[in-house]
Amino acid sequence: MTSTTAPRRDTRTRKKLFDWKLILGIAVVLALLALSLSVGEYDILSTDDGWEMFAATRIPRTVALVLAGAAMAMSGLVMQLLTQNRFVEPTTTGTTEWAGLGLLAVTYLIPAATIMDRMLGAVVFAFIGTMVFFLFLRRVSLRSSLIVPIIGIMLGAVVSSVSTFFALQTDMLQSLGVWFAGSFTDILRGQYEVLWVVVLVVVAIFLFADRLTVAGMGEEIATNVGLNYNRMVLIGTGLIAIATGVVTVVVGSLPFLGLIVPNIVSMFRGDDLRSNLPWVGLLGIGIVTVCDLIGRTIISPFEIPVSVILGIIGAVVFVTLIVRQRRG
């Protein structure tokens, strides 16, 4: 290599990480979060214990929105990279169902389980489930990328029928439904703190971003450029499992979030993981916050769980994506 070409090779083809658009995005999301902090039934400004209430419910809820939104959106992105399939995310591969099964198993086996125990169970089961799915993907050759989510959803149906059987035998069926429906209603100080674990996941995804991008090019290319592909898949799966498990235990399932966010981002920005990551995180937070705000306000003083609104919006976006891809 001559010295004249060296600097040229250093200039990146990717866009800059921080530009005015991202700053604008951050500003919008911050505004949404401020709105989320200010919306609620309890009058904070004119009552004596208003600030106490604010610290006990509003702040934890908003923090949970940020953490869960960013983590699930990013896990969806990592999963789509590793499977090389745009239609994959924790709820279309059965990962969420596995996490629920783990939660149920721990609750059944250890009645006095702490939230840590449940989380551990959920994470372990989510990891096993995701590995089963990946194993299956590697063993079969596919004729169409649309088959992958179909199989994943059927896999999820198998797992959830096991959960249902289990829950029916132990009279936990309705509470199973309550767990699964993602909702930020009961996020209080002292209960949500484990959610901070996902910060580690987000940081790790940032650190591994380039390697995950390479792994997303397939086993041959990844090995060819000197990446331990299998280890990367294991790390990726582990990160997804931790994020999904923790979010399922604390919040519940957030359907389609990991699916629509990365797709929308890559529609506008292409497929470079590292420069897209802030956007994916931001958009994930933004969408969850908007859905939560809608859920809190339209039938106030009651709430609609965020999973219902996400499920409906997500289904519409997903269908649009499929139809678009069909045209393309």
Partner 1 sequence: MDRNRYVENMVDESTADGIDNYLGEEDPQARRYERVEESWPPPKDKPQAQRRAGAFQSRAAARKYWIILGSLLVAGLLFAFGLLAWNNPMPFGTETFWLIAERRADAVIAMLIVAVCQAVATVAFQTVTNNRIITPSIMGFESLYTAIHTSTIYFFGAAGLIGARTLETFLVQLALMIGLSLVLYSWLLTGRHSNMHAMLLVGIVIGGGLGSVSTFMQRMLTPSEFDVLTARLFGSVNNADPAYYPIAVPLVLVATALLYLNARKLNVIALGRDTATNLGLNYKVLAISTLVLISVLMAVSTALVGPMTFLGFLVATLAYQFADTYDHRFLFPMAVTIGFVVLTGAYFIMNHVFYAQGVVSIIIELVGGSVFLFVILRKGRL
Residue 41 Cα distances to 58, 70, 235, 260, angstroms = 11, 26, 43, 31
Residue 232, SS3 per DSSP: helix
Assigned token pair, 262: 């990365």
Please say which residue, 233 or 304, places its beta carbon nearer to partner 1. Answer: 304
Are 254 and 307 within 8 A, CB to CB?
yes
Of the candidate residues 76, 129, 149, 284, the single one contacting partner 1 (CB under 8 A): 149
Is there binding between residue 308 and partner 1 (CB under 8 A)? yes
Of the candidate residues 23, 31, 110, 312, the single one contacting partner 1 (CB under 8 A): 312
Of the candidate residues 24, 27, 55, 150, the single one contacting partner 1 (CB under 8 A): 150
Of the candidate residues 143, 190, 220, 226, the single one contacting partner 1 (CB under 8 A): 143
Please say which residue, 88 or 197, places its beta carbon nearer to partner 1. Answer: 88
Of the candidate residues 26, 39, 44, 153, the single one contacting partner 1 (CB under 8 A): 153
Please say which residue, 75 or 253, places its beta carbon nearer to partner 1. Answer: 253
Is there binding between residue 125 and partner 1 (CB under 8 A)? no
Assigned token pair, 258: 């990991």
Are 253 and 311 within 8 A, CB to CB?
no
Q: Contacts with partner 1 in 65-124 (CB under 8 A)?
A: 87, 91
User: Containing H/E element for 152?
Assistant: helix 147-169
Is there binding between residue 9 and partner 1 (CB under 8 A)? no
Q: Contacts with partner 1 in 244-263 (CB under 8 A)?
A: 255-256
CA distance 113 to 120: 11
Of the candidate residues 168, 188, 203, 225, the single one contacting partner 1 (CB under 8 A): 168
Strand partners, 253: 181
Is there binding between residue 301 and partner 1 (CB under 8 A)? no
Please say which residue, 37 or 131, places its beta carbon nearer to partner 1. Answer: 131
Nearest to 254 by CA among 91, 14, 17, 62: 91
Please say which residue, 107 or 276, places its beta carbon nearer to partner 1. Answer: 107
- Residue 63: CA count within 13 A, CB half-sphere: 21
CA distance 284 to 125: 24
* Dihedral pair phi/psi, residue 39, rounded to 5°: -90, 130
CA distance 161 to 148: 20
Catalog residues that contact partner 1 under the rule CB under 8 A: 87, 91, 132, 135-136, 139-144, 146-147, 149-151, 153-155, 157-158, 161-162, 164-165, 168-169, 173-174, 177-178, 180-181, 255-256, 304-305, 307-308, 310-312, 314-316, 318-319, 322-323, 325-327
